[in-house]
């Protein structure tokens, strides 16, 4: 049995692809949801919309400091592993969240082999909790699935060469599968008012380095107010309290968090994307929407070619300049595989289990 640990909305999307593929192939899997993301529109709606196989266990741990949250997750995951040790062949982890780190630490103490999907990514910014999570998880893993050659090369630099496989990106599978479904089920007019359609950029901001630093947030809003285009911003639940005492520019339109189908629909209708997210950088690229990343580094370095993704940090002048840069449509090229990552992962896992 494979024990998969998920806890945040990007992981729900990835698991929807791979877990459904496991089910079709007759591979036994149980899923633990740590509860890291617990708001309905950040969690439950994804399971309903994407048809994720039913959760076996929800730890319902919620938020907290990084240390407390991770410690609680380790205890909860370890308890489940101990009770089911004989049946578990591997633990499967996605990306770089606290849920991922907790799963890796708990499994390593019990000598359970670890599978890491999205291995080898590095921002080289150790002030980001995600960077610590991904580095530790990679060094504890037995099977490491990389999205591109960049990941494989980085792992080799760190002395990790065994069990490394380039399989493409599982999010591209999701983008192709669920993007097509979203077109059929969700209309842009169901989400946005008529005056926004055709004249908006999509914004997502959630990283503490941007949201918890008042000067940085003011720089971002200053840039937004200087743009002639409307801004569509689905806000993270934690932003509500932060925004109480901040004046929002008149061209910035706030929304509750979008479901995955809604996000795909809004992304398809956007002119450009402004974000500090990791996953949305890739989705913007696959949708052929120029992206401005409001960070000083990115794990997805391949997206930077020909200005399809531009790093600005929370600098008003740089953000405005990046938005005004014209990107040549003909310079786009395929990145991170062809959307058949789940099949590649399953074949490699089968080889391991046989």
Q: Could you report the per-residue pLDDT of 301-318, keeping only the tens digit for each?
A: 999 999 999 999 999 999
Rounded Cα–Cα distance for residues 281 and 298 (Å): 9
Is there a contact between 60 and 73 (Cβ–Cβ < 8 Å)? Answer: no
Which positions are catalytic? Answer: 206
In CATH terms, are 2-169+337-353 and 188-331 the same topology? Answer: yes
The class of domain 188-331 in CATH terms is: alpha beta
Counting other chains too, the contacts that 193-198 makes at CB distance below 8 Å and 24 or more residues apart are 195/230, 196/230, 196/232, 196/253, 197/269, 198/269
In tens digits, the chain (354 residues) has pLDDT values of 999 999 988 899 999 999 999 999 999 999 999 986 555 455 577 777 887 776 668 887 766 687 888 999 999 999 999 999 999 999 999 999 999 999 999 999 999 999 999 999 999 999 899 999 999 999 999 999 999 999 999 999 999 999 999 999 999 999 999 999 999 999 999 999 999 999 999 999 988 889 888 899 999 999 999 999 999 999 987 787 888 878 899 999 999 999 999 999 999 999 999 999 999 999 999 999 999 999 999 999 999 999 999 999 999 999 999 999 999 999 999 999 999 999 999 999 998 877
**What are the residue ranges spanned by the domains of the chain?**
2-169+337-353, 188-331
User: What pLDDT is recorded for position 208?
Assistant: 86
User: What pLDDT is recorded for position 211?
Assistant: 87
- Alpha-carbon distances of 156 from 100, 163, 352, rounded to whole Å: 21, 11, 21
Check the CA dihedral 156-162-165-169 and report its sign.
negative
Residue with tokens 């929002």: 248
Residue 131: count of CB within 10 angstroms of its CB = 18
Rounded Cα–Cα distance for residues 57 and 74 (Å): 14
Question: Of 3.40.50.800, 3.30.1490.190, 3.40.50.2000, 3.40.50.300, which CATH number belongs to 2-169+337-353?
Answer: 3.40.50.2000
Is there a contact between 233 and 240 (Cβ–Cβ < 8 Å)? Answer: no
User: What pLDDT is recorded for position 54?
Assistant: 61
Tokens of 129: 């909790």
Tokens of 184: 């059929």
Residue with tokens 């097509």: 180
């Amino acid at each position: 049995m494979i024990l998969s640990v998920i806890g945040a909305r990007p992981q729900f999307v990835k698991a929807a692809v791979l877990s459904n593929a496991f089910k079709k192939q007759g591979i036994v899997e149980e899923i633990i949801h740590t509860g890291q993301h617990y708001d309905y529109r950040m969690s439950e709606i994804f399971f309903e919309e994407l048809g994720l196989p039913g959760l076996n266990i929800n730890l319902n741990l919620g938020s907290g400091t990084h240390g407390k949250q991770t410690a609680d997750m380790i205890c909860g995951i370890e308890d489940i592993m101990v009770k089911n040790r004989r049946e578990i062949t591997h633990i499967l982890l996605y990306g770089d969240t606290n849920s991922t780190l907790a799963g890796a630490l708990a499994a390593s103490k019990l000598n359970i082999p670890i599978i890491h999907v999205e291995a080898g990514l590095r921002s080289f910014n150790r002030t980001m909790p995600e960077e610590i999570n991904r580095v530790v998880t990679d060094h504890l893993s037995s099977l490491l699935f990389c999205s591109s050659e960049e990941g494989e090369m980085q792992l080799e630099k760190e002395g990790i060469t065994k069990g490394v496989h380039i399989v493409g990106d599982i999010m591209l599978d999701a983008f192709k599968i669920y993007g097509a479904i979203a077109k059929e089920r969700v209309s842009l007019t169901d989400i946005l008012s008529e005056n926004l359609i055709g004249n908006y950029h999509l914004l997502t901001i959630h990283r503490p380095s941007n949201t918890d630093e008042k000067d940085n947030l003011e720089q971002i809003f200053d840039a937004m107010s200087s743009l002639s285009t409307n801004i569509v911003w689905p806000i993270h639940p934690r932003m509500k309290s932060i925004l109480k005492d901040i004046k929002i520019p008149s061209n910035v339109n706030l929304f509750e968090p979008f479901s995955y189908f809604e996000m795909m629909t809004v992304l398809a209708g956007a002119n450009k994307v402004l974000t500090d997210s990791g996953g949305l950088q890739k989705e913007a690229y696959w949708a052929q929407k120029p992206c401005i990343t409001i960070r000083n580094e990115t794990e997805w370095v391949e997206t930077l070619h020909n200005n399809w993704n531009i790093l600005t940090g929370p600098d008003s002048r740089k953000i405005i300049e990046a938005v005004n840069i014209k990107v040549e449509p003909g310079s786009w090229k395929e990145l991170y595989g062809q959307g058949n990552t789940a099949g590649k992962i399953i074949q490699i896992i089968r080889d391991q289990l046989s």
